[in-house]
């Protein structure tokens, strides 16, 4: 494949863009080489500026669940666009999408739309503090909840200690009320409650999608929720990635747990900028204008995003592609594992419905520490061989892959052929 135009744009972008990108993962830092610049997409395919075609397993990190430029979503967005871009006022579409979202989640009586997953999580945490009157929040190492100060933290040396800032520009005071626990380890949560009496709640990705798809083990989520109830603390589910991906609703349903506050993003706007947080009536009564927890946004409930969300979720419910996702995901998983075995490459695959990720390790991966046993150099080689053979992947070992309902049998054949060449290359390291 030829990447000359992407390389030229990268060099040009360095002048006025930070690192020539607007989000760090796009810089390809962890896999080496220059980033690709994309020109267009349609269905299951994405095309770069050099006209290379790829089967897309990034799909904008999840929201293009129907594939790119689905005709019904595009039609709805164009219709809304003709009426105006933004009003800074309420529209009927907000009410329609709110009902669809609330109906999909048990015990979600009200929802507030925002503009991103980061905004949704920031607001959800503020809401937990407002409702409980407590300050501290527990998060899990390896779970990413947006770039807000309070959650950009590293675990430090012990699970029962206060966190330290994980980014320059984040003062220690901004994270003094954030505690770190280990995913799939309830005892690490209990240790914090033994030490502090002002914990408002725990925030978690029901499926860890920012450490390479990590799945809760042995009823971890159920036991976590029960424990939090006994402590009068809230469970906050960050379903920005998992919302509407494993079922029409959230991963909570599949995992048999109901969060107190749910944060959403990505898919509920059909690819347009959107986020949301919702909860039962008594919790949402805290939010202004009903209560004293202030949160606002001029572009919240943007009419274009609402139209994209309504059409996406309506079509998603009609298609009900979840059995298909399970079938295709299983096929891709087998291809990865059998090809790795063929070339004597250590590999495990974690998958939850339409989210999946391979780790170049022989160890089981149930938390971030175990995920870090994966050989990232092998992943980098694998990544570029997949790219060169027509499969577009996230440029990081620790980012989830996503399926979409436009994937075809031909796409699976392309994936299988690319995987064979990539594993062969890895085996030679």
113 vs 101: CA distance, rounded Å: 10
Per-residue model confidence as pLDDT tens digits over 226-268: 999 999 999 999 999 999 998 999 999 999 999 999 999 989 9
* Residue 139 annotated to the active site: no
**Digit-coded pLDDT (tens) for 80-119:** 999 999 999 999 999 999 999 999 998 899 999 999 999 9
Alpha carbon distances (Å) from 28 to 19, 52, 375, 392: 10, 18, 16, 13
Active-site residue, from 136, 266, 378, 425: 266
How far apart CA 198 and CA 217 sit, in angstroms, is 27
For residue 316, the model assigns a pLDDT of: 97
Q: Above 90 in pLDDT, residue 175?
A: no
Give domain limits for the chain.
Answer: 4-65+321-427, 71-319
Given 144, 183, 277, 322, which residue is catalytic? 144
pTM for the full model? 0.94
CATH architecture of 4-65+321-427: Alpha-Beta Complex (3.90)
165 band by pLDDT with thresholds 50, 70 and 90? low
Q: Which candidate, 323, 331, 234, places its Cα nearest to that of 284?
A: 234
The residue whose two tokens read 């009903």 is: 290
Residue 172 has pLDDT above 80, yes or no: no
**Average pLDDT for 179-189:** 95
CATH number for the segment(s) 71-319? 3.40.640.10
266 noted as active-site residue: yes
Q: Single out the catalytic residue among 48, 56, 238, 260.
A: 238
Residue 199, pLDDT above cutoff 90: yes
103 is catalytic: no
pLDDT band at 168 (very low <50, low <70, confident <90, very high): confident
């Amino acid at each position: 494949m030829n990447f000359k135009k992407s390389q030229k744009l990268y060099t040009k972008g360095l002048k006025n863009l930070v690192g020539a990108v607007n989000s760090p993962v796009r810089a390809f830092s962890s896999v080496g080489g220059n980033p690709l610049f994309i020109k267009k997409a349609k269905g299951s395919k994405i095309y770069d500026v050099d006209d290379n075609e790829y089967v897309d397993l990034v799909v904008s990190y999840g929201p293009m669940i129907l594939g790119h430029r689905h005709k019904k979503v595009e039609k709805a967005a164009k219709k809304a666009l003709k009426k105006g871009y933004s009003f800074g006022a309420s529209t009927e579409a907000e009410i329609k999408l709110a009902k669809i979202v609330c109906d999909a989640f048990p015990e979600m009586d009200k929802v507030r739309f925002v503009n991103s997953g980061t905004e949704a999580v920031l607001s959800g945490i503020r809401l937990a503090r407002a409702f409980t009157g407590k300050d501290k929040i527990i998060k899990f190492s390896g779970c990413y909840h947006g770039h807000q100060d309070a959650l950009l933290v590293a675990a430090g040396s012990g699970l029962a200690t206060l966190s330290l800032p994980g980014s320059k520009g984040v003062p220690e005071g901004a994270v003094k009320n954030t505690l770190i626990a280990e995913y799939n380890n309830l005892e690490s949560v209990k240790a914090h409650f033994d030490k502090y009496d002002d914990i408002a709640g725990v925030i978690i990705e029901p499926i860890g999608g920012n450490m390479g798809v990590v799945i809760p083990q042995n009823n971890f989520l159920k036991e976590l929720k029960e424990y939090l109830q006994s402590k009068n603390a809230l469970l906050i589910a960050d379903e920005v990635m998992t919302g509407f991906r494993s079922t029409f609703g959230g991963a909570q349903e599949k995992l048999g747990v109901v969060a107190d506050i749910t944060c959403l993003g990505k898919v509920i706007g059909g690819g347009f900028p959107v986020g949301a947080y919702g909860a039962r009536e008594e919790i949402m009564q805290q939010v202004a204008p009903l209560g004293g927890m202030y949160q606002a946004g001029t572009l919240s409930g943007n009419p274009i995003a609402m139209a994209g969300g309504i059409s996406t979720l309506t079509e998603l419910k009609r298609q009900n592609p979840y059995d298909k996702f399970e079938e295709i995901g299983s096929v891709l998983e087998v291809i990865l594992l059998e090809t790795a075995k063929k070339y004597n490459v250590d590999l495990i695959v974690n998958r939850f419905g339409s989210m999946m990720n391979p780790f170049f390790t022989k160890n089981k991966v149930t938390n971030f520490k175990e995920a870090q046993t994966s050989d990232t150099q092998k992943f980098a080689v694998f990544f570029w061989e997949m790219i060169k053979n027509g499969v577009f992947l996230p440029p990081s070992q620790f980012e989830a892959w996503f399926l979409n309902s436009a994937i075809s049998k031909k796409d699976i054949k392309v994936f299988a052929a690319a995987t064979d060449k990539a594993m062969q290359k890895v085996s030679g390291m």
